[in-house]
Structure formats: structure tokens, C-alpha cells
């Protein structure tokens, strides 16, 4: 059966070229999708993945090259004809209507597509229930989508794609916001989709996952088609090489902290009801401490308590042997704590302001001269030095942050924190949504800052990242620190086992 | 904006040079602008944080009425003392403005009411207070010195116009050269990121609305300098006009972006158009059509240029990425 499908791809693009204002976003890219197979589309940010998806979904027209659906050449693929041909894209934000119920979300686009004049809520529910049952899911049909977890939103989006008779489903970064269990569940669903003969495209930064779930692989770099092949012929190392065009080390390279008697930071018996309980740990100068756990385990809540976003109810925090009270974010900053928030776009950055304005945003009060006016020279010195030190790739400090890539934007947030000269740096998911090359460089920045004597706390569920930089790793489960991994205990498998145990 | 100002100026000069270029007419533009200009600057500051202040005109009237009442009652009993106390009375008018702003700031930053609702409420309160106080009548007997200062001028520029420039300059310095001012801009761009950056949003909002209140007080003084009478319903058409001016001047109503220069130029433009319409004998109603048309036209141009800029920006970013990789 599978063989028969192989003969004729559901969707095939050949020698696609697309230029934007003189820049070749895609240069002779080809890809063939087979029914019942998952195709992993990999590459760094800006390599042309998004452009290729836009072309498949008819949003953009290629300059040259051809698109075949079921072997038939498509002269001009529009978003409408693409959907009619059964091509569905599930974007990172899922494009759901938060104020509508699950059932309404699943059915509404198909209702629009057939130009239904009236919407029947009961029929919608029946149709939605059928799809959900077929996939063996448990979703509350009448729940409002805004109240759902990220994983359930995603399942809703998948159901919506299926009700539109999707034969090709493109998933853009489907696992980024999911926990390990949720990812496993998603992969189960993916298997069911394959049994239905759906061809899937899987775009992800997480290489193991992609390899685990995919049968075919296509890799792009700088808009060029590097290689296509069968997934079993690749491993993480070779994938990484193809993606970056160079070797990226995954070995451990850790700093040597100053293990003096007095730790830099000592947290004792921190409690916050419903979030975490009796959290105690120490952090030394020059140390990189990992905190890991599943989403909802309490890891983010601990960080936010330390930074005063949601202060702890009891327990003590000491920095340099001095007890500090953290009731507001300003208390934490004053005590020398810097926090890189989980969601850099909404919590970390002023997107429409310049790189310079962003870097200086947290330390304006430190740059005052006579009459309370700002010290312009000092400001440009600080911003320029951060710009250079963190190797931010932008035209200048006056470029708007919106124009930067994920990795560079993250460096801008880091610059903002470092401009305050914090003693303790807490980073929540420092490399989420950052491409591999940039990721290595950000981890290198963390090592450098630790070497300068700062204490660094990295909160992450990326086990390889933790293995790569951490001196110790705390494992959080259901709001409690259940284990501390040190030295040779810090391995990817250990971390994964401990967090899900 | 400057182009539009020059353009509209040139247009009316062309249409009616005799009347429009008459020094009296130019004088009039400069006399009519300051009070609206100051209120528009106040509106801009509120919009910069993503908020709005509808109460500024009411605050201005309350301040003008306070000054008039105090001065005229003092004048009745002891004229010499009234003259002596005049500066303090004016200062008190500004304090009234500040107090009004304090009230708004408290409602918005501590109670957490949306600015548009908080200032709508306070506008009604201040307006009502003014009507009850004056009994709805126009009060006479504002300090004559103030009116005299208003009529005087330097190099053909009325004092009030100079006052507008000075106030605008001070606000510009506040916004760009002080820590608090920069925080105001950042808060307007992204309140969540501002919080995570350790910016005290209560303090910033409080001072923002105190500033708009104070500017309202200044506007009240300017009312009196132009016209030594005060009443509860003076300038009631300004409330929406200043929003038009602020947005025309490049203020982003969603917060984060605005320039004082833009707002001052927008004020002058609208006044030029108003007086130009007068010069070519069109009515106030036709002027109001023009106001609306200018606003919408500028918004259309703005949309077009943002789209262009966005595209350009993206291309540049892509170009840069390419370059960086090579």
C-alpha cells in the first residue's frame, strides 16, 4: 500500500526560486510529500522554510519552478485553491478564535468554505465530535478555546484541518510549547494521521523529535536545497552539520565556579501555595545552575518568585550573605537579580523601539547626570558596548528590534539585563526559538558572564543545553526539588528520565 | 507635517493673499494656537502611555475659574493686595490643574480604571463643579495684567505663543532627556516588558497624568491671557479637536510613539487651515469637514508609508542575514 503511494507524491514542488527585493529566499528547492509519511523540513531561522510553506499554501507565488498536486501541474496556486486541494498549515499561533468553543473552531472554516449562510451549533458539535472520536482524543467540545492548554489548542487546530479533508498538513514548530508527555501524545496523533493517509510536513528546531517522527527529511540552508533523504539515514550529528554547514559541539564545556564557603545566593524554604513548596538551593559565584522540570512543574514559578513577579509567601533569599526581601520586581533588580523572561516578545522586548532603547530600558536611572537629565554619552557607551560584547547582528543600535532574528533579539534582552550589572542572572528558556548556531553563541555568552563572577540560573527543558553548560542541575517535579544532578550524572537521558519520572 | 503646514500656508496665501498674509491674520493664528497647542501636547503625553486624557479642557476651565474668582473677590476688597498676590493666584490655578491630574493619576494607576473612562468621569466632575460654581455664567474680572501680558509680544510674536514654545520645549526635554520621560515612552510601547524591566508603572502613570493636569492648568492661564473672562463651557469643542491634532502630529494612539514637534506643527496647521477658511470666506462647518478630511488623509498616507517601511525593513533584515552568513 505504502509503495503505491510512493509512486505518486500528493504534493511535489520542483526547482522553486523565490526572490524578495534581490535576495534569493529560495534557490532551486524541491520537495516531494508522500501520503502517510512525515516529512521533516529543517534549517536555521531565515533559511527559507517559512517561504517554502507560504508557497505550498499559495500565499506567495514562486518566481520560477513548478508545483504538482497529485501529479498535476498547478499553474497558479492561490490560498483558496491550496485549501481546496487539501493543504492545511497549522501555524505556531494556531490561528484559532479564542472566544469561540472548540466545536465552533473545528467547524467554522469548513462552514465558511462551503459558504453556509447559517451556522448550526448542534450540527457543528456532531461533526466535531466525529473527528475527535476518530483520532481518539479527549477534548471538551464546549470549552472556550482561550481556556485550553497549548497542547489542546493544537489538537483543535489539527481537528480543524482534518474536517477540511486535509491531505497535507504542515505543522510549524508544533512541539515548541509542549511538555514531553504532550509531545508523545502529539506523536500518537501524528501516527493516526499517517494511517489516514495524510502527508505531514514537520518544521521543528528540535532535531531528535523530528528524526523520531519523520520518514523523509529535507534540509535548507540560506535558501538553498542542501539535501533530501530518508530519515533513517540521518542522525542528530549529520543533521546538525547539514543545517549549520559546520560542526557544532555538544560536548560539555563548563565553567569553574568559586566554591567558597559563602555562596553568592542562598534560597531557603521558599514556598508559594499552589506553585512550589520548600524550595532550597545555593548558587555560587561563577556557577551555572540548571533548573529543569516539565511545563507546569513549578520551574517558572520559582524563577518568577525570585524576581518578584509573583513573590513567594514564605522562605528567605540571601545574596552575599544578606537577606533580601523580594516583593516587587524592583526589589529583585535592586538586590542584583536579572531575569530573562520566558516570552521574550511580550515580556522582554519593546519590539518597535530600537536596539539601543531596549538595552538601556532597565538601567535608565543609572544613567543620570546633572539636573536629573539623562547622560546621553553614558547611554550610547553602554548600548554600544553591549552591542559589541554580545555580538548583536543588526545594522546599528538604532535598528528596530522587530527586524532582528530570534537569537539576536534574545541577545538584546540579555544586554538589557547585563546593563544593570546583576550578580545573579536567571534565564528562563534562553534558547527557545533560536536556531542552532545562535544557540551555541548564547550559551557561550552565559559561560562568559559566569566567568566574570556572576551566578547564572538556567531554566530549561532542553536537556542537551543543560548538559552543555550546567555545573549542577536541579530537577523540579510538582513544585518540589526532587533531585540534584552533579558532574557525570548530568546526561541527557538522566535529565529526561528524572523530569518525567 | 512640516510639509503639510507649509503646503496649507502656501495654498491660502495663493487663494487670498491680501487677507491671509495680513499681519493681523498671522497674529491671530499665533494667538489662537497656544491654548489648543498646550492641551494637544497634554493629550499627546497621555496617548504616549497608551492612555488618553479627556479632562484637560475641564481642568483648564476649572483653573481659569479659580484664578478669576479669587482675583476678583480680592480685587473687590483690596485692589493693591490683589495686584500683589496675582502671581500666587496664577500659581494656585496651576495647582488646581495639578490636583486634577493627581485625581486622574490616582484613578488610573492605583485604582486601575481605564484612562478613557477615568478621565471621562473626572471630566464630568470638573465640568459639573465649574458649572455649579459659576452658576453657568461667564465670570469677568480676571487679572488684567495677565491679559496685558497676553497682548504684549516680542518681535511680533505674542507672549502666549512664546509660552507655548517654552512649554512644548520643556515637555520635549522631559520626554527625551529624563529617565521618567523615557520610561513613559517604554511603558506605552509594551507595559508588560516595562514591568519586567523594573519600571514602576504606577509612578510613571501618576506623573504622566499629573503632567497632563499641570498642562491643563497652564492652558487655563493661557485662556485668561487671551480673554480675561472664564466660564464652564469655554473651549468645549477642544476635547475632540486636540485628539485630532495629537494624532495628526504623529502620535500613535496605541502608545509609545509621539513627538512634541509634530504636535506643535499639527496645531499650527489646523489653525492655519481654520484662518485660511475664514480668509476665503468658508464657514466653520466647512472647516470642520476639512478637519476630518485632513485627519483621514494623513492617516491614509501614514498607513501607506508604514507598509512601505515595513517591507523595506524586512528586505533589509533579510539582506543583512544573508550578508552575515557569508
Q: What is the pLDDT of residues A56-107, one digit of tens each?
A: 988 888 988 999 988 888 888 888 888 888 888 888 777 888 888 888 888 8
CA distances from A353 to A402, B6, B190, B284, B290 (A): 8, 30, 10, 40, 33
* Residue B114 confidence class, pLDDT cut points 50, 70, 90: very high
Q: List chain A residues with CB under 8 Å of B178.
A: 372-374
Q: Are B249 and B36 in contact (CB under 8 A)?
A: no
Is A321 within the bounds of a domain?
A: yes
- Answer whether residue B319 shows pLDDT above 60: no
Residue A42's H or E segment, with its range, is strand A38-42
User: Is B318 within 8 Å of A395 when comparing Cβ atoms?
Assistant: no
Q: Give the alpha-carbon dihedral of B207, B213, B216, B218, to 10 degrees.
A: -60
pLDDT in tens, B195-252: 999 999 999 999 999 999 999 999 999 999 888 888 888 888 888 889 989 988 888 8
Q: Is residue A246 within 8 angstroms of chain B, CB to CB?
A: no
- Answer whether residue B324 shows pLDDT above 70: no
Is A414 within the bounds of a domain?
A: no
What pLDDT score was predicted for residue B58?
Answer: 94
- Answer whether residue B180 shows pLDDT above 50: yes
CA distances from A469 to A229, A434, A460 (A): 32, 16, 11
How far is B315 from B323, CA to CA, in rounded Å? 12
What pLDDT score was predicted for residue A110?
Answer: 77
What pLDDT score was predicted for residue B321?
Answer: 46
The answer on A229 and A113 residing in a single domain is yes
Q: List chain A residues with CB under 8 Å of B313.
A: 400, 402-403
Q: Please give the average per-residue pLDDT across B280-287, as a whole number.
A: 80
Which CATH number is A327's domain given? 3.40.50.300
CA distances from A437 to A249, A342, B19, B161 (A): 10, 20, 69, 58
Q: Please give the average per-residue pLDDT across B50-69, as a whole number.
A: 93
Residue A347's H or E segment, with its range, is none
Looking at the partner chain, which of B177, B197, B314 has a beta carbon nearest the beta carbon of A362? B197
Looking at the partner chain, which of A309, A333, A350 has a beta carbon nearest the beta carbon of B186? A350
> Exposed, middle or buried: residue B152 (CB in 10 Å: 0-12, 13-18, 19+)?
exposed
Q: Within its chain, how far is the Cα of A355 from the centroid?
A: 22
| Residue-by-residue DSSP string for A79-109 | HHHHHHTTEEEE-TTTT--TTSBHHHHHHHH
The answer on A294 and A198 residing in a single domain is no
Q: Are A301 and A275 in contact (CB under 8 A)?
A: yes
The answer on A305 and A440 residing in a single domain is yes
User: First CA to last CA across chain A, in angstroms?
Assistant: 39
Report the interhelical angle of B238-248 vs B284-325 (nearest 10°): 30
Is A382 within the bounds of a domain?
A: no
What is the residue range of A138's domain?
36-58+78-218+225-244
The answer on A297 and A326 residing in a single domain is yes
The answer on A269 and A240 residing in a single domain is no
The answer on A214 and A289 residing in a single domain is no
Q: Are A227 and A240 in contact (CB under 8 A)?
A: no
Is A431 within the bounds of a domain?
A: yes
Looking at the partner chain, which of B179, B315, B320 has a beta carbon nearest the beta carbon of A364? B179
Residue of chain A with shortest Cα separation from B174 = A373
How many structural domains compose chain A?
2
Is A158 within the bounds of a domain?
A: yes
* Residue B102 confidence class, pLDDT cut points 50, 70, 90: very high
Question: In terms of residues, how long is chain A?
Answer: 501
Q: Which of A163, A155, A151 is nearest to A113 (CA)?
A: A163
The residues, ordered by sequence, that sit 6+ positions from A55 with a Cβ below 8 Å of its Cβ are A13, A16, A18, A26, A61, A62, A67, A77
Q: Chain A closest CA to B88's CA: distance in Å?
A: 26
The answer on A428 and A300 residing in a single domain is yes
User: Is B257 within 8 Å of A352 when comparing Cβ atoms?
Assistant: yes
Q: List chain B residues with CB under 8 Å of A22.
A: 315, 319
Q: Are A175 and A209 in contact (CB under 8 A)?
A: yes
The answer on A279 and A148 residing in a single domain is no
Higher pLDDT, B245 or B310: B245
Q: Are A422 and A398 in contact (CB under 8 A)?
A: no
User: Is A21 within 8 Å of B319 when comparing Cβ atoms?
Assistant: yes
From A209, A244, A279, give the residue that closes a domain: A244
Is A206 within the bounds of a domain?
A: yes
Sheet holding A276-283, edge to edge: A276-283, A265-272, A314-319, A322-324
Is A401 within the bounds of a domain?
A: no
What pLDDT score was predicted for residue B87?
Answer: 86
pLDDT in tens, B134-168: 888 888 877 877 888 777 877 778 888 899 999 99
The answer on A452 and A328 residing in a single domain is yes
Residue owning grid cell 476639512 = B290
The residues, ordered by sequence, that sit 6+ positions from A307 with a Cβ below 8 Å of its Cβ are A326, A329, A332, A337, A339, A426
Residue owning grid cell 553563541 = A441
- Answer whether residue B313 shows pLDDT above 60: no
Residues of chain A with pLDDT under 70: 1-7, 21-23, 45-46, 176-177, 246-251, 258, 261, 500-501
Is A354 within the bounds of a domain?
A: no
Q: Is residue A16 within 8 angstroms of chain B, CB to CB?
A: no
How far is A343 from A410, CA to CA, in rounded Å? 10
Looking at the partner chain, which of A20, A333, A357 has a beta carbon nearest the beta carbon of B198? A333
How far is A451 from A286, CA to CA, in rounded Å? 5
From A195, A210, A244, give the residue that closes a domain: A244
User: Is B320 within 8 Å of A394 when comparing Cβ atoms?
Assistant: yes
Q: Which of A264, A302, A262 is nearest to A286 (CA)?
A: A264
Q: Which of B184, B46, B35 is nearest to B122 (CA)?
A: B46
Amino acid at each position: 500500500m505504502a509503495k503505491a503511494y510512493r509512486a505518486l507524491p500528493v504534493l511535489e514542488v520542483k526547482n522553486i526560486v523565490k526572490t524578495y527585493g534581490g535576495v534569493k529566499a529560495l534557490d532551486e528547492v524541491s520537495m516531494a510529500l508522500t501520503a502517510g509519511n512525515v516529512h521533516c523540513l529543517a534549517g536555521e531561522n531565515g533559511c527559507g522554510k517559512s517561504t517554502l510553506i507560504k508557497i505550498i499554501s499559495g500565499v506567495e507565488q514562486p518566481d520560477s519552478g513548478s508545483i504538482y498536486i497529485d501529479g498535476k501541474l498547478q499553474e497558479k496556486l492561490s490560498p483558496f485553491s491550496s485549501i481546496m486541494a487539501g493543504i492545511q498549515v497549522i501555524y505556531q499561533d494556531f490561528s484559532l478564535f479564542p472566544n469561540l468553543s472548540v466545536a465552533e473552531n473545528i467547524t467554522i472554516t469548513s462552514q465558511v468554505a462551503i459558504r453556509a449562510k447559517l451556522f448550526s451549533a448542534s450540527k457543528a458539535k456532531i461533526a466535531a465530535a466525529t473527528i475527535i472520536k476518530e483520532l481518539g482524543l479527549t477534548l471538551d467540545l464546549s470549552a472556550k478555546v482561550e481556556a485550553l492548554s497549548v497542547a489542546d489548542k493544537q489538537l483543535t487546530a489539527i481537528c480543524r484541518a482534518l474536517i477540511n479533508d486535509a491531505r497535507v498538513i504542515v505543522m510549524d514548530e508544533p512541539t515548541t510549547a509542549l511538555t514531553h508527555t504532550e509531545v508523545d501524545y502529539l506523536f500518537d496523533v501524528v501516527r493516526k494521521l499517517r494511517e489516514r493517509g495524510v502527508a505531514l510536513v514537520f518544521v521543528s528546531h528540535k532535531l531528535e523529535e523530528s528524526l523520531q517522527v519523520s520518514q523523509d527529511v529535507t534540509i535548507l540552508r540560506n535558501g538553498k536545497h542542501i539535501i533530501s533523504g530518508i530519515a533513517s539515514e540521518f542522525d542528530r550529528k549529520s543533521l546538525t552539520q547539514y543545517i549549520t554547514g559546520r560542526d557544532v559541539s555538544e560536548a560539555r564545556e563548563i565553567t569553574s565556579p568559586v566554591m567558597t564557603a559563602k555562596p553568592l545566593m542562598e534560597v531557603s524554604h521558599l514556598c508559594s501555595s499552589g506553585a512550589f513548596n520548600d524550595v532550597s538551593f545555593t548558587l555560587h559565584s561563577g556557577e551555572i545552575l540548571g533548573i529543569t522540570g516539565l511545563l507546569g512543574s513549578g520551574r517558572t514559578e520559582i524563577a518568577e518568585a525570585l524576581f518578584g513577579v509573583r513573590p513567594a509567601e514564605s522562605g528567605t533569599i540571601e545574596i552575599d550573605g544578606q537577606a533580601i526581601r523580594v516583593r516587587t520586581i524592583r526589589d529583585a533588580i535592586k538586590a542584583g537579580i536579572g531575569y530573562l523572561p520566558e516570552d521574550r516578545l511580550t515580556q522582554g522586548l519593546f519590539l518597535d523601539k530600537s536596539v539601543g532603547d531596549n538595552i538601556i530600558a532597565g538601567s535608565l536611572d543609572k544613567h543620570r547626570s546633572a539636573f536629573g537629565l539623562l547622560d546621553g554619552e553614558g547611554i550610547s557607551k553602554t548600548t554600544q558596548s553591549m552591542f559589541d560584547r554580545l555580538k548583536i547582528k543588526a545594522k546599528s543600535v538604532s535598528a528596530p528590534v522587530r527586524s532582528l532574528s530570534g537569537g539576536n533579539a534574545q541577545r538584546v534582552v540579555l544586554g538589557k539585563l547585563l546593563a544593570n550589572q546583576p550578580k545573579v542572572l536567571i534565564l528562563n528558556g534562553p534558547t527557545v526559538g533560536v536556531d542552532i548556531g545562535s544557540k551555541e553563541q548564547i550559551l557561550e555568552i552565559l559561560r562568559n558572564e559566569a566567568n566574570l563572577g556572576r551566578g547564572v540560573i538556567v531554566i530549561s527543558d532542553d536537556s542537551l543545553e543543560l548538559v552543555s553548560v550546567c555545573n549542577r542541575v536541579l530537577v523540579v517535579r510538582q513544585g518540589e526539588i526532587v533531585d540534584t544532578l552533579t558532574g557525570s550524572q548530568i546526561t541527557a537521558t538522566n535529565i529526561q528520565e528524572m523530569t518525567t519520572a | 507635517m512640516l510639509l503639510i503646514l507649509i503646503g496649507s500656508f502656501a495654498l491660502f496665501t495663493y487663494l487670498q493673499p491680501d487677507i491671509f498674509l495680513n499681519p493681523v491674520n498671522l497674529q491671530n493664528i499665533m494667538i489662537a494656537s497656544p491654548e489648543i497647542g498646550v492641551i494637544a501636547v497634554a493629550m499627546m503625553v497621555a496617548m504616549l502611555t497608551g492612555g488618553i486624557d479627556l479632562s484637560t479642557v475641564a481642568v483648564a476651565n476649572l483653573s481659569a475659574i479659580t484664578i478669576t474668582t479669587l482675583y476678583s473677590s480680592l480685587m473687590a476688597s483690596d485692589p493693591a493686595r490683589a495686584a500683589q498676590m496675582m502671581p500666587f493666584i496664577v500659581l494656585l490655578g496651576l495647582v488646581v490643574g495639578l490636583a486634577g491630574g493627581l485625581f486622574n493619576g490616582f484613578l488610573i494607576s492605583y485604582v486601575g480604571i481605564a484612562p478613557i473612562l477615568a478621565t471621562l468621569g473626572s471630566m464630568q466632575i470638573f465640568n459639573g463643579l465649574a458649572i455649579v460654581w459659576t452658576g453657568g455664567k461667564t465670570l469677568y474680572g480676571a487679572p488684567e495684567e495677565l491679559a496685558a501680558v497676553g497682548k504684549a509680544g516680542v518681535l511680533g510674536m505674542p507672549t502666549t505663543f512664546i509660552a507655548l514654545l517654552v512649554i512644548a520645549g520643556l515637555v520635549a526635554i522631559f520626554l527625551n532627556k529624563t529617565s521618567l520621560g523615557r520610561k513613559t515612552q517604554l511603558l506605552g510601547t509594551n507595559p508588560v516588558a516595562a514591568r519586567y524591566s523594573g519600571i514602576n508603572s504606577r509612578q510613571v502613570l501618576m506623573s504622566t497624568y499629573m503632567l497632563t493636569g499641570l498642562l491643563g492648568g497652564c492652558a487655563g492661564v493661557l485662556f485668561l491671557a487671551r480673554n480675561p473672562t472664564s466660564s464652564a463651557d469655554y473651549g468645549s469643542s477642544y476635547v475632540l479637536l486636540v485628539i485630532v491634532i495629537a494624532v495628526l502630529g504623529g502620535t500613535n494612539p496605541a502608545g509609545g510613539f509621539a513627538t512634541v514637534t509634530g504636535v506643535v506643527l499639527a496645531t499650527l496647521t489646523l489653525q492655519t487651515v481654520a484662518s485660511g477658511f475664514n480668509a476665503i470666506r468658508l464657514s466653520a462647518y466647512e472647516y470642520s469637514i476639512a478637519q476630518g478630511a485632513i485627519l483621514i488623509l494623513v492617516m491614509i498616507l501614514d498607513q501607506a508609508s508604514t507598509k512601505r517601511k515595513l517591507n523595506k525593513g524586512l528586505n533589509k533584515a533579510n539582506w543583512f542575514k544573508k550578508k552575515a552568513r557569508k
